[in-house]
Structure 1
């Protein structure tokens, strides 16, 4: 596995699954139904095309083979504002394709910052990743698991509590790419 994909897999297992930030990720990871697509693109047009191709791949692949895809952009969108603006284009692509209600995007970035927070606020760690990532999620799958999950509305608050209670050493171990 190339280094970028390996780093993302490690983040997925240690942070997303290990801290239970997404209680729905462990099963598809265990069943090898999560695709990590490392984009080699260096322009927005090419990356948008790459994401389009990954959406088509999801369309063409049964859910029991492929649950979800992480599109990783290691060569661009390092600035969070640029990433956020590009995210609007991805949302527009989904709309243009008529895929609203079929797919949704979860966003992850090394400098992720929720609106109304300070850059160093712990809650931003819930969406910080080693590289800019666009997570393509099947809405139907999400609806199925949410039906059987107690208190899904409480997930963000539990996640914030979790990352706020990490020690400095745990943060260094889990988020080594954030230490500059």
Structure 2
């Protein structure tokens, strides 16, 4: 099995068991088995050349998403299979990706969400279960169409309650169980 296939399998399992399975994102379910969900991998390492490859891949995915009709590509998960393993390095690259989005004139059209195996929210205890709302088997930058996000939020009753509901749900499951689940996803 190729790295791309393994990464896609891990991410689809994560989407099914965590993101939609725990209803962390009530909007994800319709796209789960849609061909409009694009999952792509970047196998570049954390080297100067690798970081340039990552930068170019972000630009390519931004361009492809903004040029494609929503029915063909609604959203993109860009997974990093060899680089950005360190969470601080990932955050630095996420800052760069946001700068690229702005420089491309796509602010207000595309937004980035981030997921990482070691995701930590600032100001939260390191062992808080809430971190698992943004933990994934691989480092991932999620490229979302802002107009699509606005449409689904407009149709959802009380979208402001989603983060609080997620924290309560994750606390109810417990950090130990969530850590086991993530470890299983990462090893699959």
The match for 1:19 among 19, 22, 28 is 22
- Runs of at least 5 residues in structure 2 that lack an aligned partner in the other structure: none
Partner in structure 2 of residue 137 of structure 1: 144
- Residues 168, 179 of structure 1: CA spacing in aligned structure 2 closer, same or farther, 3 A cutoff? farther
Instruction: Write the distance in 2 (CA, Å) between the matches of 1:31 and 1:116.
Output: 36
Aligned length: 180
| Contact in 1 for aligned 2:129/2:178 (Cα 8 Å) | no
Partner in structure 1 of residue 9 of structure 2: 6
Partner in structure 2 of residue 149 of structure 1: 156
Give the TM-score taking structure 2 as reference length.
0.89
- Residues 100, 179 of structure 1: CA spacing in aligned structure 2 closer, same or farther, 3 A cutoff? closer
Partner deviation per Cα, 1:98-153 (whole Å, 9 max, x = no partner): 00000000000000000101221100010000110000000000001111101111
Q: CA deviation at 1:177?
A: 5.2
Matched, 1:63 2:90: no
- Runs of at least 5 residues in structure 1 that lack an aligned partner in the other structure: none
Partner in structure 2 of residue 73 of structure 1: 80
- Residues 85, 100 of structure 1: CA spacing in aligned structure 2 closer, same or farther, 3 A cutoff? same
Instruction: Write the distance in 2 (CA, Å) between the matches of 1:168 and 1:138.
Output: 31
Instruction: Write the distance in 1 (CA, Å) between the matches of 2:93 and 2:71.
Output: 30
Partner in structure 2 of residue 51 of structure 1: 58
Give the TM-score taking structure 1 as reference length.
0.93
Partner in structure 2 of residue 165 of structure 1: 172
Partner deviation per Cα, 1:67-89 (whole Å, 9 max, x = no partner): 10000001011111111111110
Correspondences of 1:111-126 after superposition (within 5 Å): 111-126=118-133
* Dislocated runs of 4+, deviation >4 Å: 167-170, 177-180
Q: CA RMSD in A?
A: 1.9
The match for 2:34 among 26, 31, 34 is 31
